[in-house]
Amino acid sequence: MTNNLSVVINADAPQVWTMLREPAKVAQWHGWGADELTGEINQIYFGSNAVEAPDHTSLTTNGGDVFDLKPVAAGTLVSVTRAALDHNSEWAAWDEDVTQGWLTFLQQLRFALEHHPHGKRHTLFFEFPGEPASAIEKLGLSEVPAPGETYVLTLSTGEEITGKVWYHSNHQVGLTVHSYAEHGDGLLIVADQPVIEGVRPDGGAMVIASTYDLGAHKVESIRSLWDGWRAENYPTSEAAH
């Protein structure tokens, strides 16, 4: 079952459009910090096949997926419509991964605009192989409250976190985390990844921790807790980047 690829953002449409059309702004919500992020953003949002609607309410990305912006009472409804699947494409097996990625990135877009519209994030990213127990279950996140509700948790990493449930879908959990930002909150997303035959036969999982304005010591403390948990539970996986 594909999750609903839309969010209502408490911001007006021109603000959302700016986050879609300035590369430095896109980098505050698309993906995570990586060497290839700039190139990926340029290819997807600013490639030769990317098309802007004249009224700035629609953006067709280089891959054919379409962002639509619609003003609503609570702000702006932002939706992503996937391009038709080409079953003969080398990327066909990754189609659900792309869908899940858009779900993650839409929530990161909403968070960036509502919590840190002028901020610069620093991310920690982990990717894990699949196992019978999902990463969401292993971390103790399978029974979080409803979106918008407050929570107090001790993750199985040993980290005590508090905040609000940002969203919860079929395969993802997003939490605001007070300790991930010097002012306000950061964002933690844990996502279980689907099976891809021949590539990821047992599925997998990923974690994106978006932090804001933390000192190097605090970031390293967060990284160390996550990396220790990763090494213990997924010894074949790679350290954070």
Q: Comparing C-alpha atoms, which of 122, 77, 108, 67 is closest to residue 191? A: 108
What is d(CA 218, CA 224) in angstroms, rounded to the nearest whole number? 10
> Tell me: the pLDDT tens digits for 146-190?
999 999 999 999 999 999 999 999 999 999 999 999 999 999 999
Percent of the chain exceeding pLDDT 90 equals 80
Find the mean pLDDT for residues 19-44.
Answer: 96
**Is the sign of the CA dihedral 83, 86, 89, 95 positive or negative?**
positive
In this structure, what CATH number is given to the domain that contains residue 71? 3.30.530.20
Q: For residues 54 and 105, what is the distance between their CA atoms, to the nearest angstrom? A: 24
pLDDT in tens, 70-126: 999 999 999 999 988 777 776 677 688 899 999 999 999 999 999 999 999 999 999
How far is Cα 128 from Cα 125, in angstroms, rounded to an integer? 10
CB 159 within 8 A of CB 151: no
Q: What is the pLDDT of residue 37?
A: 96
Instruction: At 151, list the tokens.
Output: 């929570």
**Whether residue 169 sits in one domain with residue 76:** no
- Both 90 and 207 in one domain: the answer is no
**Domain with 179 in it:** 120-241
Q: Are residues 113 and 210 in the same domain?
A: no
Type of residue numbered 241: H
Please check whether residue 91 is in contact with residue 78, taking contact to mean a CB–CB distance below 8 angstroms. no
- Are residues 96 and 139 both part of a single domain? no
